[in-house]
Amino acid sequence: MKLKVRFAAVLALGLLAAGLVSAAPASGAPAPAAAPATISREIYLTGSTPVTGTVMVPASGPRRIYLAAATYAWHVTIDGVGRARNVSLRAGWYNWRCYLTGNGTVYPNYNYRGNCLLDPDAAGQANAWLPASGAINWAVPTGWHTWKSDLYML
């Protein structure tokens, strides 16, 4: 009897390892969605003095990220206000960074503009920009702000 139980356990482990059976319980519930990839920065911005410099997120350099071939929802926001687009990407390594530049005006006018870049390592593959062209304009008052970009696989 012990031999049969041991054989059944070894067989079950072998089938699990081979991917022929699943240890997950059967249910009609969908699998949970993958968590988004995010870059973010808490940043102090001035709205009362004209600014013309550029800051980046991540501040230390681009985030290097491997992305599977898929379509992604891509967002960039300051305090929840920003832009989004869907982008189809090939599998591979990307350098991801966002840029924010003061445009020389003061709040309540649009005083900052920005965009984000996914720069692929693969030769001959085009960069992806958010927005696809131009820049996003923000009217930002003086204070601390949350600036972030997310990628969600669709």
Map out the domains of the chain as residue ranges. Answer: 36-153
Q: How far is CA 138 from the centre of its chain?
A: 20
Residue 95's nearest CA partner among 35, 53, 39 is 39
pLDDT in the model for residue 84: 97
At 89, which amino acid appears?
L
pLDDT tens per residue, range 4-27: 333 333 333 333 333 333 333 333
Contacts 24+ apart (CB under 8 A), 27-36: 33/152, 34/152, 34/153, 36/150, 36/151, 36/152
Asked whether the beta carbons of 122 and 137 are under 8 A apart, the reply is: no
pLDDT in the model for residue 11: 34
pLDDT tens per residue, range 74-88: 999 999 999 999 999
Rounded Cα–Cα distance for residues 41 and 59 (Å): 8
Per-residue model confidence as pLDDT tens for the chain (154 residues): 443 333 333 333 333 333 333 333 333 444 455 789 999 999 999 999 999 999 999 999 999 999 999 999 999 999 999 999 999 999 999 999 999 999 999 999 999 999 999 999 999 999 999 999 999 999 999 999 999 999 999 9
Rounded Cα–Cα distance for residues 68 and 147 (Å): 25
Flag whether the pTM goes above 0.85.
no
